[in-house]
Amino acid sequence: MFATLSDRLTSTFKNLRSRGRLSEADIDATVREIRRALLDADVAVPVVREFAAAVRERALSVEVSGALNPAQQVVKIVNEELVAILGGEGQRGLALAKNPPTVIMLAGLQGAGKTTLAGKLALHLKEKGHTPLLVAADLQRPNAVTQLKVVGERAGAPVYAPHSGVAGEDEVPTGDPVAVARAGVETARSREHDVVIIDTAGRLGVDAELMAQARDIRDATQPDEVLFVIDAMIGQDAVATANAFAEGVDFTGVVLSKLDGDARGGAALSVARVTGRPILFASTGEKLTDFEAFHPDRMASRILDMGDVLTLIEQAEKAFDAEQAEKMASKLAQGDDFTLEDFLSQMQAMRNMGSMKKMLGMLPGMGQMREALDSFDEREVDRVEAIVRSMTPAERRNHKIINGSRRARIAKGAGTTASAVNQLLERFEGAQKMMKQMARGGGMGMPGMGAL
Ligand code: GDP
Shared domain for 162 and 130, answered yes or no, is yes
Atom 6 in ligand 1: which residue has the minimum CA distance? 113
Consult the annotation and say whether 22 binds a ligand. no
| Residue 46: alpha-carbon gap to chain centroid | 23
Shared domain for 107 and 205, answered yes or no, is yes
Does residue 347 sit within a domain? yes
Does residue 309 sit within a domain? no
- Interface predicted TM-score (ipTM) of this complex, two decimals: 0.98
**Ligand 1 atom closest to residue 199's alpha carbon, by position in its atom list:** 4
On the question of pLDDT at 147 being above 80, the answer is yes
pLDDT tens column, 323-350: 666 676 677 667 677 788 888 877 777 6
Dihedral (Cα; 81, 87, 93, 95), 10-degree rounding: 160
C-beta of 339 in contact with ligand 1 (< 6 A): no
Consult the annotation and say whether 257 binds a ligand. yes
Does residue 308 sit within a domain? no
Which helix (H) or strand (E) segment is 255 a member of?
strand 253-257
Does residue 312 sit within a domain? no
**Ligand 1 atom closest to residue 259's alpha carbon, by position in its atom list:** 23
**pLDDT band for position 449 (50/70/90)?**
very low
**Ligand 1 atom closest to residue 138's alpha carbon, by position in its atom list:** 4
Atom 9 in ligand 1: which residue has the minimum CA distance? 113
**pLDDT band for position 163 (50/70/90)?**
low
Shared domain for 35 and 114, answered yes or no, is no
Question: How many Å lie between the centroid of ligand 1 and the Cα of residue 226?
Answer: 18
pLDDT tens column, 103-121: 999 999 999 999 999 999 9
Question: How many Å lie between the centroid of ligand 1 and the Cα of residue 284?
Answer: 10
Give strand pairing partners of 270.
none
- Which range of residues forms the domain containing residue 38? 3-85
Tell me the C-alpha distance between 7 and 86, whole Å: 19
What's the CATH number where 167 sits? Answer: 3.40.50.300
Shared domain for 259 and 172, answered yes or no, is yes
Does residue 174 sit within a domain? yes
Shared domain for 339 and 290, answered yes or no, is no
How does DSSP assign 320-383, residue by residue? H-HHHHHHHHHHHHTTPPPPHHHHHHHHHHHHHHHTTHHHHHTSTT-HHHHHHHHT--HHHHHH
Which whole number is the average pLDDT over 3-12?
Answer: 82
Tell me the C-alpha distance between 346 and 384, whole Å: 11
pLDDT tens column, 256-295: 999 887 666 777 788 999 999 999 999 989 999 888 888 8
Does residue 400 sit within a domain? yes
Consult the annotation and say whether 432 binds a ligand. no
Which whole number is the average pLDDT over 395-419?
Answer: 92
C-beta of 260 in contact with ligand 1 (< 6 A): yes
Consult the annotation and say whether 111 binds a ligand. yes
Domain boundary, last residue among 85, 118, 151: 85
Asked if residue 214 lies in contact with residue 248, where contact means CB atoms within 8 angstroms, the answer is: yes
What pLDDT, on a 0 to 100 scale, did the predictor assign at position 444?
40
Secondary structure class of 108 (helix, strand, coil): coil
What pLDDT, on a 0 to 100 scale, did the predictor assign at position 356?
52
Shared domain for 436 and 363, answered yes or no, is yes
Does residue 315 sit within a domain? no
On the question of pLDDT at 170 being above 60, the answer is no
On the question of pLDDT at 445 being above 50, the answer is no
Burial 248-265 (b: 16+ CB within 10 A, else e): bbebbbbbbbbbeeebbb
Percent of the chain's residues with pLDDT above 90: 44
Average pLDDT in the chain: 82
Does residue 73 sit within a domain? yes
Shared domain for 208 and 246, answered yes or no, is yes
Domain boundary, last residue among 295, 311, 331: 295
Question: How many Å lie between the centroid of ligand 1 and the Cα of residue 255?
Answer: 12
C-beta of 111 in contact with ligand 1 (< 6 A): yes
C-beta of 110 in contact with ligand 1 (< 6 A): yes
Tell the burial category of 394 from Cβ atoms under 10 Å away from its Cβ (0-12, 13-18, 19+).
exposed
Shared domain for 23 and 121, answered yes or no, is no
Pocket probe mutation, ligand 1, options 199, 279, 286, max atoms within 8 Å of Cβ? 286
What's the CATH number where 385 sits? Answer: 1.10.260.30
**Ligand 1 atom closest to residue 117's alpha carbon, by position in its atom list:** 7
pLDDT tens column, 26-67: 899 999 999 999 988 888 899 999 999 999 999 988 776 666
pTM of the model: 0.69
End-to-end CA distance of the chain: 26
Listed in sequence order, the residues at least 6 apart from 172 whose beta carbon sits closer than 8 Å to its beta carbon are 142, 164, 166
What pLDDT, on a 0 to 100 scale, did the predictor assign at position 347?
74
What pLDDT, on a 0 to 100 scale, did the predictor assign at position 165?
47
**Ligand 1 atom closest to residue 261's alpha carbon, by position in its atom list:** 26
Which whole number is the average pLDDT over 382-399?
Answer: 90
Which whole number is the average pLDDT over 410-436?
Answer: 88
Asked if residue 391 lies in contact with residue 402, where contact means CB atoms within 8 angstroms, the answer is: yes
Domain boundary, last residue among 85, 112, 140: 85
Q: What angle do CA 25, 31, 33 make, to 5 degrees?
A: 105
Atom 20 in ligand 1: which residue has the minimum CA distance? 113
Shared domain for 261 and 123, answered yes or no, is yes
Atom 5 in ligand 1: which residue has the minimum CA distance? 113
Question: How many Å lie between the centroid of ligand 1 and the Cα of residue 58?
Answer: 40
Consult the annotation and say whether 259 binds a ligand. yes
What are the backbone dihedrals phi and psi of residue 449, each rounded to the nearest 5 degrees, phi first? -80, 0
What's the CATH number where 68 sits? Answer: 1.20.120.140
Listed in sequence order, the residues at least 6 apart from 304 whose beta carbon sits closer than 8 Å to its beta carbon are 6, 9, 10, 75, 78, 79, 82, 310
On the question of pLDDT at 302 being above 90, the answer is no
Consult the annotation and say whether 53 binds a ligand. no
Shared domain for 121 and 247, answered yes or no, is yes
Shared domain for 152 and 26, answered yes or no, is no
Shared domain for 386 and 447, answered yes or no, is yes
> How many independent structural domains does the chain possess?
3
On the question of pLDDT at 148 being above 60, the answer is yes
15 or 255, greater pLDDT: 255
On the question of pLDDT at 130 being above 90, the answer is yes
